[in-house]
Chain A
Amino acid sequence: MNARAKFLVGGALVLGTAGYLMASSISETAQYYLTPGELATKVAADPGFVETGVKVGARVVSGSIKRTPGGREVAFDMTDGTRSYPVVYRGLIPDTFTDSVDVVVEGRLGKDGTFRATVLLAKCASRYENAPDKEKYKNTKGYQQAKPSKVT
């Protein structure tokens, strides 16, 4: 066997191992990433789906946040507009978590219909991007309409 063939065999071994590791760990760590509506559909189709670890992306219902003093535990409702679920989370609450932000929670939906989250991630898309709210400032002293400008 020449060196090239030997190298190819070795390479195949390395890539094969990598492929095996990828395939096996995907089946171990893969999680459904659902919206509340999709979660409801899954549960309706298969009642055993409760207590399965899933990730859910949703929006926090404004005004639903109930923080336990101390900042270790929080309860809130999440929704995607079609279905909403109450969520309980214990752990460090991210700085960006607040009303109406998009969150990603990881955990299980309990039989009582409450989602018990072990991971809570809050996204801050709107916070990075939005210009100040015009309405909020309309009645303040410094408010002025921009001069019409030809250049946009």
Chain B
Amino acid sequence: MILVGELSLWIALVMAVWATVASYAGGRLRRGELVLSGERGIYASAGFTVLASAGLLTALVTHDFSLKYVASYTSANLPTVYTIAAFWGGQSGSLLFWALVLGIYSVIAVMSNRTSNREMMPWVTGTLGVVLTFFLAVCAFGSNPFERLDWIPPDGRGMNPQLQNPGMAIHPPNLYLGYVATAVPFAFAVGALIARKLDAEWLGAVRRWALVSWFFLTIGITLGMWWAYVELGWGGYWAWDPVENASLLPWLTGTAFLHSIMVQEKRGMLRKWNVMLVIGTFLLAILGTFLTRSGIVQSVHAFAQSPVGQWFSGFLVLATIASVILVATRLQDMQPQAELESLVSREAAFLYNNLLFVGIAFSVLWGTLFPVLSEAVKGSKITVGPPFFNSVNIPLGLLLFVLTGVGPLIAWRRASLANLRRQFTGPVVFGLAFGAALLIAGMRDGYALVAYTIAAFVTGTIAQEFWKGIGARQKMYGDSFLQASVRLVARNRRRYGGYIVHAGMTMVFAAFAGLAFRKEFDLTLRPGETFAAKDAWGREWRFTSLGLSRYEQLNRQVVALNLQVTRDGKSVDNIVTEKRQHVDSQGNPTFEPSTEVGIQYDAKGDTYVVLAGVSPGERAEVRITFNPLVIWVWLGGGVMALGGLIVMWPPAMRRRTQAGYATALEPEAVAATLA
């Protein structure tokens, strides 16, 4: 099976090359049979990539340590779930995984367009073929997961203990699913450009793929933050590390696109911009992979330096040049069909939204590449740290946050004073009142006050929309409150799914603002000793050490500190934090000792305890952090993903009647949505 997998990789590569050549030739010569053959080439290439992946998985699960990849990332006593996760845990395996996902996506994209978009499909298929060829070639020549050692180790290195975490097992595939999905809209953009079919049609084909990408990136980024939080032990979840930034960049431009696409659908504007966003998102996804794999920027997440970086930089340069030429020669095909009529309109809100998203993306890119740029220009590497990213992105992010509330409610084309008054009076009053209440309650952090005021305003706008919609349904159909809320969302998925995404984003912003109120204590505890402290909410915590225990467990030796905890005098769950020494199947220590953080989750804020070490006399060196509202980052991320899922879900047949009903009730709002 392993041999079959290895051979399949090569066959898949040949097939991908054929798919590219046949599709482009078929499109150029307008030969149907070549186009068809190209599409079959995609199917075949994807099929053989599946076989290759099955081969690598077999090698991992059967512990064939003669494969360098298997020996480098797993050991005989590694739990099965992580043995499987090792497929995407290392360099060459993750590249094969990427090719696998791309193959499957390509098959879906090609199959679902067998009878539609025929003019551009040869070019779309060919472009997917190019990307697939690239990844398979990197796998085959640059970093082959089937490379063999010249000896058979009795056991493998094992997996880095920090990667042995459920979040880490599912975080990378989600990110890859998101990254790779940017390739499909890119292929459609290239196809539409070459075929000069730049009307709204290609957007329809692309929108769902952009959503798929957004959905998985959102989940992937959230899981990545969660992993960093529970596993790395520094108490935070985002450090503006290049690898983190690399995943954020395509998310930012992809989110911008999901908004600007609406402007093109409704008003025929932003046609060039949308093409460029789609292409840019894909290039940023490739750039992100390049940054993380080449070692060109300093990151804690270091992959070994490898020739793979050069492959990616080469591909990136070629793809950028080709895209620029393609867009430049097609500019006259993308004239806007309407002009901006007023600054007080939904179009304008979306334009500013896009400006901010792209501005944030640019500043993140700039900060990430700054060491490289400064070395090229001034000859010395200069880095910028988190303060740079924070001081630029907090104000821009807050502006964007305001638009989250404004955009969905303001009318298209030109908002009347009546529209503004009707939609915004309630939420604005609510937001200001909330901010004032916080100020009176004693909150003094400027940014946090602004953030919570805006959060309340946005929450107000969303609540108002649901309230109106549900009320209308109740009146019209006599639905119960619950029925009305479910049907309201189910029958207007795009609109209300979007609101749910915004609600999730609001939770995340509220949690970010909570960072201003972190408290951190470093202390030493003898068995029986107690430490007392107050968190940001003024709750009194007491931690009493029950002493250290030492034991063996699965593939590790553990030193654990058990703390008895009370909050405002009431006893709550104990917190346990561990130092772990991982061992291989022969009992030899592998890797350095790793820390297992003890976290007590709470809606108001987490209590986060790290065992730094043990001093003579069984004195535990401990860091205790009160992290306000952190849990809302994960919950908000989940809500965003849920909203994305609702928006993506295939439309129901009854949408038309729904629109008709709403017209009767709220003519202006519907006119705004339909316009």
Contacts and interface: CB of A to CB of B under 8 A. Distances in A.
Contacts of B396: 14, 18, 21
Interface stretch (A44-52, A78-86, A126-134): A126-134
Contacts of B425: none
A42 B38 CA distance: 59
B388 A4 contact: no
Interface string A1-43: 0011011001100110110011011101111111000100000
B575 to A, nearest CB: 17
A55 interface: yes
Interface string B142-179: 00001111111111110011100000000000000000
Interface string A76-96: 000000000000000011011
A132 B352 contact: no
Contact of A145 (B151, B155, B382, B383): B151
Contacts of A93: 612-613
A145 B148 CA distance: 12
Contacts of B384: 25-26, 29-31
Interface string B55-94: 0000000000110100111000000000000000011000
Contact of A18 (B162, B341, B392, B595): B392
Contacts of B298: 33, 57, 104
Contact of A144 (B68, B151, B162, B359): B151
Nearest to B6: A151
B610 A92 contact: yes
Contacts of A104: 298
A61 to B, nearest CB: 17
Interface in A48-70: 55, 57, 69-70
Contacts of B343: 3, 6-7, 10
B592 A96 contact: yes
B352 A126 contact: no
B635 to A, nearest CB: 27
B592 A95 contact: yes
A149 B148 contact: yes
B623 A92 contact: yes
A26 B298 CA distance: 18
Contacts of A95: 161-162, 233, 592-595
Interface in B321-347: 339-343, 345
B234 A92 contact: yes
Given A95-B592, A151-B3, A121 B300 contact: yes
B382 A31 contact: yes
Interface in A128-152: 128-132, 134, 137, 140-146, 149, 151-152
Contact of A33 (B383, B595, B615): B383
A111 interface: no
Nearest to A33: B381
B381 A92 contact: no
B399 interface: yes
A58 to B, nearest CB: 12
Given A26-B388, A71-B613, A98 B592 contact: yes
A31 B162 contact: no
Interface string B620-653: 0101000000000000000000000000000000
A128 B363 contact: no
A101 to B, nearest CB: 9
A127 B157 CA distance: 9
A121 to B, nearest CB: 6
A129 B153 contact: no
A26 B391 CA distance: 10
B351 interface: yes
Given A25-B392, A92-B610, A145-B151, A31 B399 contact: no
11 contacts: A3-B340, A11-B355, A18-B392, A28-B388, A30-B382, A31-B383, A33-B382, A128-B160, A129-B91, A131-B71, A132-B71
In the complex, the 4 A-B pairs of residues with the closest C-beta atoms, listed nearest first = A71-B613, A142-B154, A70-B615, A129-B304
Given A31-B385, A146-B150, 6 more contacts: A18-B359, A21-B392, A69-B613, A127-B591, A128-B73, A141-B154
Interface of B: 3, 6, 65-66, 68, 71-73, 90-91, 146-157, 160-162, 233-234, 295, 298, 300, 302-305, 339-343, 345, 348, 351-352, 355-356, 359, 362-363, 366-367, 370-371, 380-385, 387-388, 391-392, 395-396, 399, 522, 524, 591-595, 610, 612-616, 619, 621, 623
